[in-house]
Amino acid sequence: MTKKRNEWGAATKLTHPPRPEIHQKNTPVVAPIYQTAKFVVSNEVPLSSQFIYSRVANPTLRSLEESISEILNFDETIVFSSGMAAISTTFLGLLKAGDHLISFRELYRPARIFIKDVLSGFNIEHDLLKLNELDSLPQRIRPNTKIIYFESPSNPNLQIADISKIIKQAKAHGILVIMDATFAGLQLNSGMGVDLIIHSLTKYASGHGDVLAGSVSGSKKLISQIRPMNIALGGSLDPHAASLVSRGLKTYQLRFEKQSSSALEIAKYLEIHPFVTKVYYPGLKNHPQYELASNQLIHSGGILSFEIKTDVGTALEFSHRLELLQFTVSVGSVESLICPTELFFGEDLSVNDRREMGINPQSLRLSVGLESVSDILADLEKAFLK
Ligand SMILES: *Cc1c(COP(=O)(O)O)cnc(C)c1O
């Protein structure tokens, strides 16, 4: 016969700690974290509606998935252990050997490398076009083209994709359109007509730079084609990491609006700076795609890039001179982050492609944080004066 708790040995007591009862209506204001790999199987509800194993499903992950579906206005979302897990699992879930994918060179570098080096190893063909040459898109569409994949605004120089043009071409041929909308924050939704939206939740969604996560959102039908691949590949998000993203999301709107207005102020300062030769920011009137950007984005985002004169040294030297602005990769955090673009974003591209894309020894990408703008400007000014 099973022993009573007070009769258990110390080892049994320690492995099965007490669970204080909470009245059903006495709920915690913040959802508890289901930091558990598995759930006890019940005979009172069908197995299919139970949580069993957290790689497959977990209430903390489910809450985050529903939250992202709500804000992006899609039926379903899957969250992953990183943005790259979202991208790779989505492609592998939807493509098979012999399929063809169209994308663009203006892509987050690891995603570009995944398409060029990994997918090609599985006999999935690709074409990488230039984001500003969409007129050549129809000629690249083949009978086996399954997906058009793009980013907007693009990394690192904030090019804006003409989304409706891409969708029009794709729909005419029954091709899926997938967008990585990380740089745009969570303001672009299903209303644009893309089939799936991917986010690196590591960036604006979580916002504090302390967690890696990713998501893909879309229709029930498409998501159900991707979920089995997530279970098979196993890039599921940890519940504690999911709770950090959910916590970040609570302040997302405030952060994104503030970071967008600070970025505009800084872009305007840089635009007239005697040591700056170029500024790329979709919220600036002189951005070549200002109109396209303002049709797509309510807030222009917290990321900008700029080029400095050789008189003040290279982008690398300039980055090392900054103190408040942190010289590192990534974007969308509460701290301002800066990096020379050529150091991290172009290694796999030809020199010609890099130069056309504005990736050169003088260019920098700045992700504006939540600091006082005057302190950011003072740090930049100090670096300009050497
Ligand atoms: C960071 C980033 C990713 C990858 O996300 P991780 O969470 O770092 O894996 C993908 N796309 C874009 C545009 C990104 O900025």
Compute the distance from residue 86 Cα to the ligand 1 centre, in Å. Answer: 9
Compute the distance from residue 73 Cα to the ligand 1 centre, in Å. Answer: 21
**Closest CA to ligand 1's atom 7:** 83
Q: Ligand 1 in contact with 90 (CB < 6 A)?
A: no
Compute the distance from residue 137 Cα to the ligand 1 centre, in Å. Answer: 25
Q: How much is the pLDDT for 346?
A: 84
Q: Are 159 and 152 in contact (CB under 8 A)?
A: yes
Whole-model pTM over 0.95: yes
| H or E stretch at 277 | strand 276-280
Compute the distance from residue 119 Cα to the ligand 1 centre, in Å. Answer: 18
Q: How much is the pLDDT for 293?
A: 95
- The structure tokens listed for 27 are 């709920």
- The structure tokens listed for 78 are 């899957």
- The structure tokens listed for 285 are 């009137």
Q: How much is the pLDDT for 107?
A: 95
CA-CA distance, 336 to 244, in Å (whole number)? 20
Q: Ligand 1 in contact with 180 (CB < 6 A)?
A: yes
CA-CA distance, 198 to 176, in Å (whole number)? 13
Q: Ligand 1 in contact with 199 (CB < 6 A)?
A: no
First to last CA, the chain: 79
| Residues paired with 215 in a beta bridge | 79, 199
For residue 201, the ligand 1 atom closest to its alpha carbon is 7
Compute the distance from residue 155 Cα to the ligand 1 centre, in Å. Answer: 10
Q: Are 323 and 383 in contact (CB under 8 A)?
A: no
Angle (CA) 345-349-352 rounded to 5° is 115
Q: Ligand 1 in contact with 126 (CB < 6 A)?
A: no
**Closest CA to ligand 1's atom 1:** 200
Q: How much is the pLDDT for 355?
A: 94
- pLDDT tens per residue, the chain (386 residues)? 789 999 999 999 999 999 999 999 999 999 999 999 999 999 999 999 999 999 999 999 999 999 999 999 999 999 999 999 999 999 999 999 999 999 999 999 999 999 999 999 999 999 999 999 999 999 999 999 999 999 999 999 999 999 999 999 999 999 999 999 999 999 999 999 999 999 999 999 999 999 999 999 999 999 999 999 999 999 999 999 999 999 999 999 999 999 999 999 999 999 999 999 999 999 999 999 999 999 999 999 999 999 999 999 999 999 999 999 999 999 999 999 999 999 999 889 999 999 999 999 999 999 999 999 999 999 999 999 97
**Closest CA to ligand 1's atom 15:** 182
- The structure tokens listed for 227 are 């979920």
| H or E stretch at 47 | none
Compute the distance from residue 55 Cα to the ligand 1 centre, in Å. Answer: 21
Q: How much is the pLDDT for 386?
A: 78
